[in-house]
Each structure stands twice: as structure tokens, then as C-alpha cells.
């Protein structure tokens, strides 16, 4: 049967209508990017609440929320040295509503994990660097060695009986512990936690002996005398802990600091990334953030570092650096 005129016209129009509908979807994406954010934004933290990565994230969450005009929620997704969170964030919708806060572990994981389920360089867009935090070598308050020099001798003589807390393979604490053990030629008993927040609780309680962790988790406990501090891992002493010597002062070749950055899944529209970068930059110039970071031994990065370009450069350099210094499984 021959088609009636209007029907034939409709049939002829169908492909064009489909094309228009497809264009309409694209327009929807553009609109979503232009209106972003229309609901709350979640920042995934790859370690436990109360630890240093969590602390830095919660410090910037409120001023970022103000800049974005939406709530910023902090969600802790623990496990496997931060890689469980990395996988979850890589698989999230690229719509700007799931953001990942990660640290130096983003650059060590590709070497440490042979079957890492994501590629930090291709599965994410970088938003910007946040802060670079010194580390401290600390122990339970009644641990025998008094100084860094004593600690070096003690670890060389008693390695088998020393428990070293960390946040799992790929965590900054594990990396720092690894550098310490390699520098001394010793192997300690590593005790992994889901984050150094809970590890700190056990260290203060005396259940473990030693830890290397960011000042954002250790400054208050050091100043309160709840843990013993041996050294900072920066080239110079830091203002928040002026009495704590550098590891280098005791002849130990150990220098490491923990850089943090924000990521969104690959293919997140550029407009959304820019909105997040601008919110990050606002948060990092917020006086409360600056003061609270200073009290914890750190500072926000300069504005030109809180950008996708600077962040990508850092990530690429650090992946190359650590690939030459560490090996799988360690």
C-alpha cells in the first residue's frame, strides 16, 4: 500500500529527526556544563576519616562549596593503599559531581601495583595541585630511642622486633617507611591500616612502634607529647615544629614530601574542570585555610600550581621519578 503524503513526509523526516535529537543531547551536555554545579559535589578521599588526606580535604571543602554555590561532601573510600578510591573515581560519570583527592600515591601506584585497574594519566583529568606536606618520623611516646641518631642505631640492631605502621602499599607512609628502611638497609614489620588516622590512634595507644606520616596528621600529637618525633623529611626544619631536626641533619639521606591534587574522571567537560579549578584556587587563598595549614606544617600551593597544566606536569614527572626508585610490591 502506498503511503499517504503526511506519513511519507514523516518517514522521510525520521533520520533528520534522529540527528536533531542527537544534537539535542549534546546541547543538554553543554547546558549541564554551563549550569554546573546544580547539586552537591562529592570529593572522594582514599583513606580513613581523621587522617591527613582527609584533613586537607575537609579544610578546602567549605570554601570550595562557597565558591561553587553547592554543598561539597567528603566521602572516605578506603582500601589497598588508596587504589580502591582511585578505581571508583575513574569509573564515575565524567560530570564533575565526583572528584578525587589523592596524593603522591597517584604517582607511585603505577609502579607498585602490576595490575592497577586505572591509568592516572589517561583515566583522569587533573584539576590542580593543592598542597605539598612534609613528613615526620614518629614513634609511640615510650619508644626507647630518644634522638634520630639513637633511632638509626636501634633500628639497625632491632629491626625484627619493630612494627612500622602505614596506610598500605602505595600510601605515602608506606613510601616514606620504604625509603627509611632502604637508607638503613633494614626490614621492619609493616602493619597496614586503612589510613594513618587509625594508625595514629594505635601509635598513641602503644600498639605499634613507629610511623612516618604527614605533618597534617602528626603536628598536634607531637606538640602535645602524645608521640615522640625524631625528624622531618624536608631539607630544612619547619616553622610548625622548630625543635624537630631534619633527617638529613643526622646524616640520613631521606627527603620526601607529599603533594596532593584533585582529579575528575577522563572526559569531564573542560568547562566543568575550569569551574572546579577556580573553586580550588579560591579555597587556597582563603585565610582560614592558609592559617590552619600553617599550624599543621604546610601551605597551599601557589595559584599557578593549582591548575590542570601544573598538576599534569607534576604527575608525569613523579610517575617517572618513582618508577626509577621503587619496585613492584614494595
User: For ligand ASP, which is the closer residue by CB, 41 or 133?
Assistant: 133
Q: Which of 277, 80, 60, 274 is nearest to 170 (CA)?
A: 80
Q: What gap in Å lies between CA 172 and CA 82, rounded to an integer?
A: 10
Q: Give contact residues for ligand ASP (rule: CB under 6 A).
A: 47-48, 51-54, 105, 166-167, 171-173, 195-197, 213-214, 217
Q: How far is the CB of 327 from ligand ASP (least distance, A)?
A: 19
Nearest residue (beta carbon) to ligand ASP: 51
Q: Which of 100, 92, 184, 205 is nearest to 137 (CA)?
A: 184
Q: Is the peptide bond before 37 cis (omega within 30 degrees of 0)?
A: yes
Q: How far is the CB of 31 from ligand ASP (least distance, A)?
A: 37
- 1-21 exposure pattern, b = at least 16 Cβ within 10 A, e = fewer: eeeeeeeeeeeeeeeeeeeee
Q: What gap in Å lies between CA 63 and CA 193, rounded to an integer?
A: 30
User: For ligand ASP, which is the closer residue by CB, 59 or 68?
Assistant: 59
Q: How far is the CB of 171 from ligand ASP (least distance, A)?
A: 3
Measured CA distances, 229 to 225, 272, 302 (Å): 9, 42, 29
User: For ligand ASP, which is the closer residue by CB, 51 or 128?
Assistant: 51
User: For ligand ASP, which is the closer residue by CB, 162 or 200?
Assistant: 200
User: For ligand ASP, which is the closer residue by CB, 54 or 125?
Assistant: 54
Q: How far is the CB of 152 from ligand ASP (least distance, A)?
A: 22
Q: How far is the CB of 75 from ligand ASP (least distance, A)?
A: 14
User: For ligand ASP, which is the closer residue by CB, 200 or 264?
Assistant: 200
Q: Where are the beta strands (DSSP E) in the chain?
A: 41-45, 72-76, 98-103, 124-140, 163-166, 189-192, 210-214, 227-232, 257-265
Q: How far is the CB of 141 from ligand ASP (least distance, A)?
A: 20
User: For ligand ASP, which is the closer residue by CB, 173 or 275?
Assistant: 173
What letter does residue 73 receive in the DSSP assignment? E
Q: What gap in Å lies between CA 253 and CA 84, rounded to an integer?
A: 32
Q: How far is the CB of 81 from ligand ASP (least distance, A)?
A: 7
Amino acid at each position: 500500500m502506498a503511503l499517504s503524503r503526511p506519513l511519507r513526509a514523516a518517514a522521510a523526516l525520521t533520520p533528520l529527526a534522529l540527528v536533531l535529537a542527537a544534537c539535542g543531547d549534546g546541547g543538554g551536555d553543554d547546558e549541564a556544563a554551563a549550569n554546573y554545579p546544580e547539586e552537591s559535589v562529592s570529593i572522594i578521599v582514599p583513606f580513613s576519616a581523621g587522617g591527613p588526606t582527609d584533613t586537607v580535604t575537609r579544610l578546602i571543602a567549605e570554601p570550595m562549596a562557597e565558591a561553587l554555590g553547592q554543598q561539597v561532601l567528603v566521602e572516605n573510600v578506603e582500601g589497598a593503599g588508596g587504589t580502591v578510591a582511585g578505581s571508583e573515581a575513574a569509573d564515575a560519570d565524567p560530570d564533575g559531581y565526583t572528584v578525587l583527592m589523592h596524593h603522591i600515591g597517584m604517582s607511585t601506584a603505577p609502579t607498585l601495583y602490576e595490575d592497577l585497574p586505572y591509568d592516572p594519566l589517561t583515566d583522569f583529568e587533573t584539576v590542580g595541585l593543592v598542597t605539598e606536606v612534609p613528613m615526620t618520623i614518629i614513634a609511640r611516646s615510650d619508644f626507647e630511642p630518644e634522638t634520630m641518631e639513637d633511632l638509626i642505631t636501634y633500628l639497625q640492631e632491632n629491626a625484627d622486633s619493630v612494627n612500622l605502621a602505614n596506610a598500605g602499599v602505595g600510601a605515602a607512609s608506606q613510601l616514606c617507611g620504604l625509603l627509611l628502611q632502604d637508607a638503613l638497609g633494614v626490614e621492619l614489620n609493616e602493619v597496614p591500616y586503612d589510613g594513618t588516622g587509625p594508625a595514629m590512634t594505635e601509635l598513641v595507644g602503644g600498639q605499634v612502634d613507629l610511623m612516618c606520616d604527614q605533618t597534617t596528621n602528626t603536628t598536634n600529637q607531637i606538640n602535645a607529647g602524645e608521640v615522640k618525633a625524631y625528624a622531618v623529611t624536608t631539607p630544612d626544619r619547619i616553622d610548625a615544629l622548630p625543635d624537630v631536626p631534619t633527617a638529613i641533619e643526622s646524616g640520613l639521606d631521606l627527603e620526601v614530601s607529599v603533594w596532593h591534587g584533585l582529579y575528575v574522571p577522563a572526559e569531564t567537560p573542560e568547562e566543568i574542570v575550569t569551574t572546579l579549578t577556580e573553586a580550588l584556587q579560591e579555597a587556597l587563598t582563603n585565610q582560614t585555610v592558609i592559617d590552619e595549614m600553617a599550624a599543621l606544617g604546610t601551605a597551599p600551593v601557589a595559584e599557578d600550581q593549582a591548575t590542570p597544566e601544573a598538576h599534569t606536569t607534576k604527575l608525569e614527572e613523579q610517575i617517572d621519578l618513582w618508577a626509577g626508585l621503587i619496585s613492584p610490591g614494595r
